[in-house]
Amino acid sequence: MGIADEEGNLVESFAYDEGEQIISAETSEMMKKILESVVAEGTGSKAYLPGYRIGGKTATSEKLPRRSGKYIASFMSFAPAENPQIMALVLIDEPQGVYYGGTVAGPVMQELLKNALPYLGIEPVYNEKEAEEAAEAQTEVPDVTGMAPAQAKNTLYQAGLSSEYRGEGETVSRQLPPAGETVNKGTKAVLYLE
């Protein structure tokens, strides 16, 4: 563990003394399962990510003085639940409107883990239902180079994608993501015009 520079060179290492085991392995496994159920079917369901087993605990805390109408919404999470590699805490101080931890902090935790887990090289493992849903949520990017902007936008829309233009011109000269790439529906394609 440590800090790396832009080129990936380790510039500072961290070392920690191994602590004393304070709970049994059986208790630890039981708590992981209980906290995983919070995300899979409980108050933390807004942090659920298909293909990942995530454990978590939501919390809603009222700030002092009592009955001030001010809260802290929080969500503590770890993943993957079967072999935790990352632990994260999201705190939202004085959320407006809805203030429950699972409702307010859960989606933030989901977004954080959606980015962090693949970055750490932790690949999703889908069950059959998740695999079907993931396949339905993806689309192949059509080739819109050479098209007029309006035609390209419509073609992308038909594939479930949004788009934005860069530059001025009558024709799409380049596109990102490139044609043939599989992406999630709703992805925004950038169209470069000439």
Per-residue pLDDT at 1 exceeds 80: no
The angle formed by the CA atoms of residues 138, 108 and 38, to the nearest 5 degrees, is 90
Contact (CB, 8 A) for 74 and 91: yes
Q: For residue 122, which phi and psi values (nearest 5 degrees)? A: -95, 110
Longest CA span, the chain: 68
**Using alpha carbons only, how large is the chain's radius of gyration in Å?**
22
Predicted local confidence at residue 4, as pLDDT: 86
For 37-83, write each residue's pLDDT tens digit. Answer: 999 999 999 999 989 999 999 999 999 999 999 999 999 999 999 99
For 165-182, what is each residue's pLDDT tens digit?
999 999 999 999 999 998
Across residues 8-23, what is the average pLDDT? 87
What per-residue confidence (pLDDT) applies to 92?
96
Looking at the predicted structure, is the pLDDT value of residue 91 above 90? yes
Residue 132's pLDDT band (boundaries 50, 70, 90)?
confident
Please provide the average confidence, as pLDDT, over all residues in the chain.
Answer: 92
Among the listed residues 129, 162, 119, the one whose alpha carbon sits nearest the alpha carbon of residue 48: 129
Q: Residue 15: is its pLDDT beyond 90?
A: no
In the chain, pLDDT over 90 holds for what percent of residues?
72
Give the global pTM: 0.64
Report the SS3 class of residue 129.
helix
Would you say 28 and 90 are in contact if contact means Cβ atoms under 8 Å apart? no
- Beta-bridged to residue 79, according to DSSP, are 86
Among 16-20, 108-112, 142-146, name the one with the lowest average pLDDT. Answer: 16-20
pLDDT at 145: 96
134 pLDDT above the threshold of 80? no
